[in-house]
Amino acid sequence: MTDAPSHPPARRDRSQLREERRRRRRRGVQVAVAAGIAAVLLIGGAVTAMVLVNQGATTAAPSEAPEPEPIVFPDDEPAAEPGAEPCTTVPVLSSFENAEMVQRLAEGYNAEPRDVDGSCVTVVASRDKSGIAAEEAAVGFSETAEDERPVVWIPDARSWLGVAREAGGGANVPAEGTSVGSSDIVLAMPEPLAAAIGWDEEPPTWAEVFETADDAEVWANLDHPEWGEFKLGKTSPVIASSGEAAMLASYGAAAGSVAELTVDDIADDEVTDEVKQHELATSHYMATPEHFLWHARQSADAGGSAADFLSAVIVDEKSVWDYNRGITSRDGVTRIESDVPAEQLVPIYPSDGFYIADNPAVVLTGSWVDEAEAAAAEDFLRFAGTKEGQAIVRETGYRDLNGELDAEVQEVGALAQTSDAGLDFPEPQVVVAMHEAFPDVRKRANVLFLLDVSGSMGDPIETGETKLEAAKQAVELSLDHFSDGDEVGLAAFSEVDAQALAPGEVSAVADIADTRDDFESALATLKPIEWTPLYEAVDTFAKRQADDWDPDRINAIVLLSDGRNETEAPSTSSQQMLDTLEELHHSTPVLVFTLAYGADADVKTLQSISSATGAHYYDATDPTEVDEVLGDLVTSF
């Protein structure tokens, strides 16, 4: 057995570095709230030097500014009676990760009478993925009806404000937000794995994390060959804050400093090569951290350990708390409450720093936001900074604006009482540079699109197209996600006159840079046929993909089906198919991402297929949403 990776000498000044970052973090958080609750704090005489430091400042030495006193949160001051109707409606858009907190804040605010400029107020919360919301904010939510556009946007990290502004949304998105609470983005590991490698006692640096993840024999060398290779889970950095944090940490580790990452570092060829090597340890990318944790729980329940699905995953503290109390979500929206897992997650706080999801709230400045809505929105943000609002923040698993956790949340999540090495996200230019570099450095894919072309795919949908026409359009659009070097192919399945799997492969899996025209031509020729040999198709093409399995690629199938297994002649059974997938999973694993298309899709079977391979199930039972759902799915690559 070999020893776990040793810690480098650079850690000799860790205590001093932690103290500096601790002071910086406290200053940044307190200044963020100062603008939102200044009027209230002035009444209480509590505004002091908090406004002297910009929220993004990172250069002050510990001796230059003493640590500010903790904020004394003011009491909420609801109106004696609600203002006149009709109420001013304040749509608030959150991320998936912080949606519960924002919803609870909205409920807390709405529970008391409000009178802003003579009108009552109703706050309405909605959610979207961070990257999608940033794209929409950059164009002023132009695809949404004006009366439905958000007035307040609360992404779970400040990085998305900069991404939206850099993409052209400066006229609508303020540069700085008012933090309503925070959650550290950490490395979470199943408890036995964290103990075996020793990171539960002595946190690693990010460089050590990526070095370990690149070691195929690490668990075998620690007397646990049953855990397989080190499987590192990351969300997509263009979709989720945890994915951004993971990729920025990768660049920082390669460049020599997570805390001082620059645009030049991201452009450096040697740094880029090292980041590419880091990415090879990624099992696959997903849209939200909940996706990974749901699969980890499924693996633990089915096989006794989450280690079958992941060794570690980069997530926010709040997600660790949810998991450890038995709450998971397959889609980031629907919450599943079950028993407390026997195998808990341990949050690991890397010693050279970790990014903070600071949940900045901004009142948007677009033409659709009138003065009454803006005033009501500011009153909602005032509430978020009150004693009542901050209690909600803590109760929903977040650190308040003093960095404090609810005691029970801290205990159940095994979270650090204080997070001394917390880091602000880098400047927007750095984050955008990382986004632009991601297509070049990400782990390449080896993907087969497998389309059901049974007779029912000829049925019309609300748009006037047939289901197959809409599906083909969605597949064609999804190709834009892939880059040179990704190997992509196309097969389709039906059965006619007892001939299985007609037409079969129509475009071989090959570099999409060379074969996109052939792929699109083959896609255009697909037509509805007759039967639905679902089990035979999955069994056959999973074996073919496994034959070409490449450990340096994400080996996958994207399966779209609108029906249940129906064949004219005897064919592969459901159990035979699942046995094949299980056998491959332990040798040459092929992820089968399944998409249930239309109301008659066999949801249960499609879920079992994806679960058996460690992939994810997607719901397009409303066929008019297939392009959006498939677009979400391909972020896994």
Q: What is the pLDDT of residues 278-312, one digit of tens each?
A: 998 888 887 788 888 888 888 888 777 888 888 99
pLDDT recorded at residue 19: 42
Contact 488, 519 (CB under 8 A): yes
Examine the pLDDT at 346 and tell me if it is beyond 90. Answer: yes
Q: What is the pLDDT of residue 497?
A: 81
Span 348-359, pLDDT tens digits: 999 999 999 999
Query: What residues contact residue 604 under an 8 Å CB cut-off, 6+ apart?
Result: none
294's tokens: 């749901």
Both structure tokens of 314: 């980069």
Over range 316-322, report the average pLDDT.
Answer: 96
Q: What is the pLDDT of residue 521?
A: 97
pLDDT level of residue 120 (50, 70, 90 thresholds): very high
What is the C-alpha to C-alpha distance for residues 398 and 97, in angstroms, rounded to an integer?
A: 11
Residue 245 CA to residue 236 CA, distance in Å, equals: 10
Beta strands 84-94 and 152-154: pairing type? parallel
How is domain 444-636 classified at the CATH fold level?
Answer: Rossmann fold (3.40.50)
Who's near 314: CB < 8 A, 6+ residues apart? 185, 186, 187, 188, 232, 233, 234, 235, 242, 243, 245, 246, 249, 289
CATH class in words for 183-356: alpha beta
Tell me which of 332-341, 369-378, 521-530 is least confident. 332-341
Position 176: which residue type? E
pLDDT band, very low/low/confident/very high, at 55 (cuts 50, 70, 90): very low
Domain with CATH 3.40.190.10 in the chain: 84-181+359-413
Does residue 500 register a pLDDT over 80?
Answer: no
Residue-wise pLDDT tens digits, 2-36: 343 333 333 333 334 334 433 433 444 444 444 44
How far does the chain reach from its first CA to its final CA, in angstroms?
A: 34
Q: How many residues are listed for the chain in this entry? A: 637
Q: Supply the pLDDT for residue 580.
A: 96
Q: How far apart are CA 439 and CA 299, in angstroms?
A: 30
- 3-class state of residue 618 by DSSP: strand
For 376-407, the pLDDT digits (tens) are: 999 999 999 999 999 999 999 999 999 999 99
Q: Residue 144 above 60 pLDDT?
A: yes
Half-sphere exposure of 82 (CA within 13 A, CB side): 13
Confidence band for 636, pLDDT divided at 50, 70 and 90: confident
Token pair belonging to 554: 């994400």
pTM summary value: 0.84
Residue type, 117: D
Q: Range(s) for CATH 3.40.50.410 in the chain? A: 444-636
190/300 Cα distance (integer angstroms):
10
244-268 average pLDDT score: 97
Residue 601 pLDDT class (50, 70, 90 cuts): very high
Q: Supply the mean pLDDT for the chain.
A: 88
If you search the block for the tokens 């959150």, which residue do you land on? 94
Is the previous residue joined to 86 through a cis bond, with omega within 30 degrees of 0?
yes
Q: Specify the pairing of strand 354-357 against strand 422-423.
A: parallel
- The fold of 84-181+359-413 is D-Maltodextrin-Binding Protein; domain 2 (3.40.190)
**Percentage of residues in the chain having pLDDT higher than 90:** 74
Would the pLDDT of 69 be above 70?
yes
Distance separating alpha carbons of residues 356 and 354, to the nearest angstrom: 7
Mean per-residue pLDDT, 453-468 = 95
Q: Which of 43-52, 113-122, 186-195, 605-614 has the lowest mean pLDDT?
A: 43-52
> Residues 6 or more apart from 135 whose CB is under 8 A from it?
164, 167
